Amino acid sequence: MYAEKTADEWSNLLIKVGLERDREAFTLLFRHYAPLLKGFLMKGSNIGHEQAEELAQEAMIKVWRKADSFNRQKSSASTWIYTIARNCRIDWIRREVRRQRDIHADDLYEPGGENPSQVSLVQLRNKRTIRASIETLPQEQIEVISKIYFEGKTHSEVSEELSLPLGTVKSRIRLALKRLNVQLDAEAEEA
Amino acid sequence: MLVTKHPNSDLLIDYASGALSPGLCVSVSSHLHFCALCRDKNEELSSLGGNLLETAAPAELNASALDDVLGRLDEIQPPRPFTQRTLPDDEAKLPELVKNLLPDDGLKWKFLSPALRVARLAVGESRYELALHKIKAGGKTPAHDHNGLEITVVLQGSFSDADGIYHEGDFLIREPGDVHRPTASQNNPCICLSVSESPIKLVGPIKRLLNPLFSVTPQ
């Protein structure tokens, strides 16, 4: 076993992989993140043990290939790896469930990276804020947040599955995000 | 120019959690290309994903997983099909993300009205149609209503309708019953990305002539 590392140390390892193709750094990242990825993916009721294993490995290979595009000013290592796993899951669902393999999620998402962030305060706060664990939320909020983040369901899919009005789903999500200290209240006029 | 029209938080949440269908995903990505404010919101929502990952209960991998993965790191990636095609000036200025979705043999602009052309983008979408619309400088498009949801993101130039003027990055949602007649600004043509759910209804005298051309054909 090895001592638990801080968020900054994980970012350092990721940068080492990107710049120096360092296999030892990658191995440390793998030992830490691959089991978390598998556990995270298995929380979605739509993904079984075997698929979660396969996806966790696939995500780690992508971590190796894309590490040079990791930007520590923008994201933490965990957030960046989460987006990689999310895209692997999207591709898996399209490939296995819908039999479509024509386009990859990586081509549909804004690549970020080169585009500067406007509100550097958000980043600073992100680094310092320790978020309350999802386990501290009321059960009904855990349920919607899990369906959204672990299963990649839309608001309307969640509302159908739980037989709840869409408005109820939305308000549970808003309450949960507020309690988890996710800031969405910047003054923006919505379309 | 500051972006003033943004996707709502529901869309941003579904984007960060990976739930949007390809066409909707591209519309939000195109907005993020222009909008630092929403990029920050997306980062915030993704960081919740990062926290959920960090705090997930670890699940042990197969004993050989690390060796298997290390053995695959040097696999040669098939190179991305890349055609060195020279794009017309206006297309060359599109966001990188949109350029990567252009067909290899070039966009096929179709005539919709004297001021308006449309070219479809294929992203394996079944429910929504994703397309680029080009309005010539000062051009007025036919007034139309919507049978379903229609999202428009201004990618180049600007246009106006009865409700206001929209600039690069602005993200607009129209719902059934919203009749509008977009007009491009005088100086420049306007290119928009649009995602529409079902055929657009033309209203006004030329509708019989043009309506079939607006029909949406999801692939």
ipTM over cut 0.85: yes
Beta strands in A65-187, from DSSP E residues, in sequence order: none
Per-residue model confidence as pLDDT tens digits over A17-76: 999 999 999 999 999 999 999 999 998 777 889 999 999 999 999 999 999 999 888 889
Query: A190 to chain B: which residues are within 8 Å by CB?
Result: 5-9
3-state secondary structure (DSSP) of residue B77: coil
Tens digits of per-residue pLDDT, B175-195?
A: 887 788 889 988 889 999 999
B153 vs B180, more confident: B153
Determine the Cα angle at B157 with ends B146 and B137, to 5°: 85
Tokens of B156: 């180049």
Chain A residues 1-20 within an 8 A CB cutoff of chain B = none
Q: What is the CATH number of domain B1-52+89-219?
A: 2.60.120.10
Closest chain B residue to A27 measured between Cα atoms? B66
Interface test with B, best of A8, A69, A109, A129 (most B CBs within 10 A): A109
pTM of the model: 0.88
Count CA within 13 A, CB hemisphere, residue B110. 12
Q: Does the pLDDT at position A8 exceed 70?
A: yes
Hey, are the CB atoms on B5 and A191 less than 8 Å from each other? yes
Give B201's contacts (C-beta < 8 A, 6+ positions apart): B144, B145, B146, B147, B207, B211, B214
What angle in degrees, to the nearest 10, is found between the helix axes of B36-54 and A77-92? 90
Q: Which domains does chain A have, with CATH numbers?
A: 1-119 (1.10.1740.10), 130-182 (1.10.10.10)
CB B171 within 8 A of CB B31: yes
Coil, strand or helix at B217: coil
Residue A82 is predicted with a pLDDT of 97
Nearest CA of chain B to the CA of A1: how many Å?
14
